[in-house]
Amino acid sequence: MLKRGLYIGRFQPFHKGHLYVVKRALEEVSEVIIGIGSTQANYDIDNPFTCGERMEMIRAALEEAGIEHKRYWLIPIPDIHNNIVWVTHVVSLCPKFSIVYGGNPHTLLLFEDMGYEVRRVQLYKSELYSGTEIRRRIINDEPWEDLVPPAVAEFIRRIDGVRRLKILAEAYEIDKKLKKA
Amino acid sequence: MLKRGLYIGRFQPFHKGHLYVVKRALEEVSEVIIGIGSTQANYDIDNPFTCGERMEMIRAALEEAGIEHKRYWLIPIPDIHNNIVWVTHVVSLCPKFSIVYGGNPHTLLLFEDMGYEVRRVQLYKSELYSGTEIRRRIINDEPWEDLVPPAVAEFIRRIDGVRRLKILAEAYEIDKKLKKA
Amino acid sequence: MLKRGLYIGRFQPFHKGHLYVVKRALEEVSEVIIGIGSTQANYDIDNPFTCGERMEMIRAALEEAGIEHKRYWLIPIPDIHNNIVWVTHVVSLCPKFSIVYGGNPHTLLLFEDMGYEVRRVQLYKSELYSGTEIRRRIINDEPWEDLVPPAVAEFIRRIDGVRRLKILAEAYEIDKKLKKA
Amino acid sequence: MLKRGLYIGRFQPFHKGHLYVVKRALEEVSEVIIGIGSTQANYDIDNPFTCGERMEMIRAALEEAGIEHKRYWLIPIPDIHNNIVWVTHVVSLCPKFSIVYGGNPHTLLLFEDMGYEVRRVQLYKSELYSGTEIRRRIINDEPWEDLVPPAVAEFIRRIDGVRRLKILAEAYEIDKKLKKA
Amino acid sequence: MLKRGLYIGRFQPFHKGHLYVVKRALEEVSEVIIGIGSTQANYDIDNPFTCGERMEMIRAALEEAGIEHKRYWLIPIPDIHNNIVWVTHVVSLCPKFSIVYGGNPHTLLLFEDMGYEVRRVQLYKSELYSGTEIRRRIINDEPWEDLVPPAVAEFIRRIDGVRRLKILAEAYEIDKKLKKA
Amino acid sequence: MLKRGLYIGRFQPFHKGHLYVVKRALEEVSEVIIGIGSTQANYDIDNPFTCGERMEMIRAALEEAGIEHKRYWLIPIPDIHNNIVWVTHVVSLCPKFSIVYGGNPHTLLLFEDMGYEVRRVQLYKSELYSGTEIRRRIINDEPWEDLVPPAVAEFIRRIDGVRRLKILAEAYEIDKKLKKA
């Protein structure tokens, strides 16, 4: 019988650590729902990409990885500011699922307390395969492309994402300096 | 080159008229983005199904119709209460697209005034292939299954959608009677 | 062991039909949670009283009816515009409860589909003991005080609620006339 | 000493009745604050114009009427869905004022109950000088230009407002027909 | 004559410092309204408990302290993001009150500028009787139960609140490490 | 032909650096739209003044500077939490404009990516003519009045803004101490 797993992230950007969790889940369930969290966040230093851009980069990465379309769902999840209510909000947006995967104990706690089975995925080199680290490297002209699937690197270059992040970082530094002045 | 079309509806439920527009768009563009509007609406007489349920029924219908997964995107579009701003909201949630399809001149006007190419699709028997008509028939035990793709009819039966609609209709009648009393 | 029941209404105003449900629930549960719905609604023709005013009138009525304070909770429930998610929103605002009472099948359906036990209360003369009917009578100078507990009638008079409703009705008529013009 | 009056409307569009109230208020106060209500509403049949468009048409009309800029303020007032709280919301957006003008007893009641002096302005031929009537005439190709200041008529023509309203009306009719089907 | 005082806090959790303020207020007023702020916040490291849980723990603590039910009101106050407007939002949710109690000059300033009488309560050992300190101790397995009324300690243990806080703390540390990486 | 420029700030408070940008823009465009951002923020340490107060201080300052009323628009811009959508939100609130001025590369990036011409204004002594610096000086009794136009200093004194900021700062310190405890 069909069994679905849920995996939620912000994917700013989608990296190899994320791809690993998706593959890992697909060993256990027939379909994985990839929930794109904080869909309303974009063009800020922690969330440079729009939801639509993240949809495009994830689909390109999964295609490249040879994962069949019918085995995953991409679902935007706008934030709401009530953690426990957010669980039902997610449930109402997604096709029926029975297991929740994740590396973050906060999300897992929420679904567990609402009666879902959860499975904590031990991330591989999480200090490296991390959106924060990748954004930091992009901003500082350090090598970052190896941390994401090739299709994601290509997409970020195509939409001029490096320039965007650098401008956001410049604006952030100006704000920080003013706050300290 | 890749060309994407956008088609937005509430799909309460997804019916043969909707499927016709999707097929029609796919004759002109390589990928169609199916935007599921009013995602927050559910369990009311005009919007009985949750977003997740609509996602499931649409995917089942497109699979049944032999439309390849890679040729469409399903994207939930929560309402925001500013029509012209809603256009950019949609744009930020979707992969890049260049044409907007629809039968409703309101949506087309909005996208047109924001600089998009729009294409009005003449609907076939729109008084029949209509969510309102289908919900009315379900409530009144009239034949409705022929108006939706078989996979949708099957899904609605499986989630006990007929019972849900009838209870919503009963509640609606009680409210109406009180208002008139 | 302690068992709590939930009963949600708008209580515009709290009338004898509401009081009947509260008493009825207290025959079965040790504590009843009275959820005041649409707390943000006030000063409109269907919702003339603020949440705080409704809190005051309900407490006065229950005191008058000899119901002990410790047997009920008064809890404001602001609207959110997603029906199924609203259930968890209610749950997060209330002390733990196990049964839901009500006369409206819509609310009961929502809680039932989220796994709660529900109990439909057959209302006595619901066309009479109805907020809509009471507001209509107040506006038209027809007798209304017998439909609410004496403490509620007294409270409405004290805050000049009759005048408020009449002005709201006058404004409503002006709007309606303009719409038709 | 400086004394300010507040006058709130939706101004869809700004017409001669509105101009009359502004002039009338300026006989009593040194400055009038024109609050543009429901700023988020636009491109719908009851609210065809954006806030920015309404700002432009009002300023053009007041200039044409020879009212000095320094005697008025134009302030957008987004809706919030709590009537009594809306008063403080308005207060926080506006320069300090002491009198509220209006033709609608609902708005006046709200400000009065929050402690403001209010003055009801008897409108002249309100069934004629009415946004609803003007929009109806535009849609039906009946004469409407005499009901608004010449600068407003000119502005609406310049932004192709007649076409916009007609498309919105067409969409509205389609929706209504579907609802009835 | 009846005189009511208002006291607002987040009560994460309700501790002996809070209880002291309630008792102190009850020496001066006949009824105290306990406003539970940030009702939408839950399951985060600064706000571990839902509104409903806070309602339960406060009522248990007041009962234990021998404070009669009729002398207090428990009222959830959802956040709104406009400080001065928030005052009227509070007023609309509460029964009429005339004095505001508190230890935080921010809240008192807001009510004072909106015309209310305020009374600053000097807190006793505020670095100890503090939600922040209690949460810190729970997370670090230091003694915390003496800082809250026994009924609150018992409630937190019963709902497994210690485990919840520790998981939230673990998630917080993971996030912080990623941000610094 | 008429050409409008947009300049957005929070203006907490409006200072000489802001006035400089307005004057600079008016050398190039016939009208400048001054967008007052974060209109909902007030009575907090970073945003002490309400939108209405900021409207008053800006108008007083521009009058004092001899800038004609007809050359500027003051438009409140409430925050929305989606950066790229915020651009259209701004556009819908303002009269038509063609250039965006600003010192902050974040805002300029957003408008540029939405197709607007932007012009970065090099601020003069931005560490001095800065809202953050001015608020810091007010709180610490250091000289600040020279950093704002005389009319602004006078307005802040008249509404007792210095006292307000000091109380907000005291509350902020109390919170910070508790967080660290």
Closest partner CB to E43 (pick from A84, A104, A136): A84
- pLDDT above 90: percentage of residues in chain C: 90
What is chain D written as a DSSP string? Answer: ---EEEEEE--TT--HHHHHHHHHHHTT-SEEEEEEE-TT--SBTTB-S-HHHHHHHHHHHHHHTT--GGGEEEEEE---S-HHHHHHHHHHHS----EEEES-HHHHHHHHHTT-EEEEPPPSSTTTS-HHHHHHHHHTT---GGGS-HHHHHHHHHTTHHHHHHHHHHHHHHHHHHHH-
Distance from CA of A160 to the nearest CA of C (A): 37
Q: What is the pLDDT of residue F122?
A: 84
Cβ neighbours of residue E142 closer than 8 Å, sequence gap 6 or more = E136
Q: Tokens in use for F21?
A: 């940008």
Are B42 and C84 contacting, i.e. CB atoms less than 8 angstroms apart? Answer: yes
Number of Cα atoms under 13 Å in the Cβ half of residue B27: 7
Cβ pairs A/F, distance under 8 A? 45
Q: What is the ipTM of this complex?
A: 0.95
pLDDT (tens digit per residue) in C92-115: 999 999 999 999 899 999 999 999
Closest CA to F118 of F134, F97, F102, F137: F102
CB pair distance less than 8 Å for F91 and D52: yes
Alpha carbons E7 and E19: distance in angstroms, whole number: 11
pLDDT in tens, D44-101: 999 999 999 999 999 999 999 999 999 999 999 999 999 999 999 999 999 999 999 9
Residues of chain F above pLDDT 90, percent? 90
Distance (Å) of CA F45 to CA F65, F75, F136? 28, 23, 10
Q: What mean pLDDT do residues F19-45 have? A: 97
**Best of F75, F77, F164 to disrupt the D interface by mutation (most D CBs within 10 Å)?**
F75
d(CA A147, CA E34): 52
Q: Which positions in chain A touch F85 (Cβ < 8 Å)? A: 40
Lowest mean pLDDT across B150-154, C118-122, C134-138, D125-129: D125-129
The 10s digit of each residue's pLDDT in F172-181 is: 999 888 776 5
Looking at residue B114, its pLDDT comes to 97
Q: Do D93 and F52 touch (CB under 8 A)?
A: yes
- The residue-averaged pLDDT of F115-120 equals 97
Q: Would you place residue E1 in the very low, low, confident or very high pLDDT band (cuts 50, 70, 90)?
A: low
Whether residue E58 contacts residue E11, with contact meaning beta carbons closer than 8 Å, is answered with yes
Residue recorded with tokens 């709902």: E159
CB atoms within 10 A of CB F127: 12
Q: Tell me the Cα Rg of chain D.
A: 17
Please say if the pLDDT value at position F168 is more than 90: yes
Q: Is the separation of the CB atoms in C16 and C61 below 8 Å? A: no
**Residue D135: which of D108, D106, D109, D161 has the closest Cα?**
D161
pLDDT grade for D1, boundaries at 50, 70 and 90: low
Determine the Cα–Cα distance for residues C83 and C97; give it in Å rounded to an integer. 19
**pLDDT above 90: percentage of residues in chain E:** 90
pLDDT > 80? residue E4: yes
The mean pLDDT of chain E is: 96
The CA-CA-CA angle for residues C120, C124, C128, to 5°, reads 125
End-to-end CA separation in angstroms for chain C: 62
Read off the pLDDT band of C1 (50, 70, 90). Answer: low
Residue pairs spanning A and B at CB distance below 8 A: 59
Residue C19, SS3? helix
Which of D128, B34, F165, C17 is CA-nearest to residue A74?
B34
CB proximity list for D22: less than 8 A, separation 6 or greater: D7, D32, D34, D62, D67, D72
For residue D1, what are the contacts with CB-CB under 8 A and spacing of at least 6? Answer: none
Q: Using H for helix, E for strand and C for coil, what is the string for D91-131?
A: HHHCCCCCEEEECCHHHHHHHHHCCCEEEECCCCCCCCCCH
Split at pLDDT 50, 70, 90, the class of F1 is low
E93 touching chain C per CB within 8 A: yes
Stated as kind and residue range, the H or E segment containing B138 is helix B131-139
The pLDDT of residue B1: 60
Residue A1 has pLDDT above 70, yes or no: no
Per the CB < 8 Å rule, is C85 touching A85? Answer: yes
Alpha carbons F109 and F162: distance in angstroms, whole number: 35
**C88 lies within 8 A of chain B by CB:** no
- Helices D83-93/F51-64 angle, 10° precision: 20
CA distance D69 to F68: 9
Tell whether omega for the bond before A13 is within 30 degrees of 0, i.e. cis: yes
SS3 C3: coil
CB within 8 A of A29, min separation 6: which ones? A3, A4, A5, A99
CA distances from B102 to B6, B8, B36, B119 (A): 8, 7, 13, 7
Residues A174, E102: Cα–Cα separation, whole Å: 37
Percent with pLDDT over 90 in chain A:
90
Residue reference for tokens 């409207």: F55
Q: Is the pLDDT of residue B83 over 70?
A: yes
Residue D180 predicted with pLDDT over 70 = no
Domains in chain C: boundaries: 4-180
pLDDT band at B40 (very low <50, low <70, confident <90, very high): very high
pLDDT greater than 70 at residue F137: yes
pLDDT at D9 (0 to 100): 97
Interface contact C94, partner E, CB < 8 A = yes
Q: In A, which residues are within 8 Å of C94 by CB distance?
A: none
Q: What is the pLDDT of residues E140-171, one digit of tens each?
A: 999 999 999 999 999 999 999 999 999 999 99
Which chain E residues have a beta carbon less than 8 Å from that of D89?
82, 85
- Write out chain C residues lying below 8 Å of A87, CB-based: 88
Residue E1, min C-alpha distance to chain F (Å): 33
Q: What is the pLDDT of residue C176?
A: 87
Q: What is the pLDDT of residues C57-93, one digit of tens each?
A: 999 999 999 999 999 999 999 999 999 999 999 999 9
Q: Are B168 and B43 within 8 A, CB to CB?
A: yes
Nearest CA in chain E to F170: E105
Chain B positions touching C85 (Cβ under 8 A) are: 40
Q: What is the pLDDT of residue D126?
A: 84
Per-residue pLDDT tens for F84-104?
999 999 999 999 999 999 998
D35 vs D74: CA distance, rounded Å:
6
> In this predicted structure, what is the pLDDT of residue F11?
98
Residues D179 and D181: their CA atoms lie apart, in Å, by 6
pLDDT tens across C2-50, in order? 899 999 999 999 999 999 999 999 999 999 999 999 999 999 999 999 9
Residue C75 and residue C33: Cα distance in Å, rounded? 7
Q: Edge-to-edge strands of the sheet including E4-9?
A: E72-77, E31-37, E4-9, E99-102, E117-120
CB proximity C120 to B under 8 Å = no
Peptide bond preceding E13 in cis form (omega within 30 of 0): yes
pLDDT at F180: 67
pLDDT category at E179 given cuts 50, 70, 90 is confident
Confidence of residue A126 (pLDDT cuts 50, 70, 90): confident
Chain F adjacent subunits, 3+ CB pairs under 8 A: A, B, D, E
Least confident of B113-127, C57-71, D162-176, F62-76: B113-127
CATH of F4-180, one of 2.60.40.1930, 3.30.750.24, 3.40.50.620, 3.40.50.2300: 3.40.50.620
| Proportion of chain D above pLDDT 90, given as a percent | 90
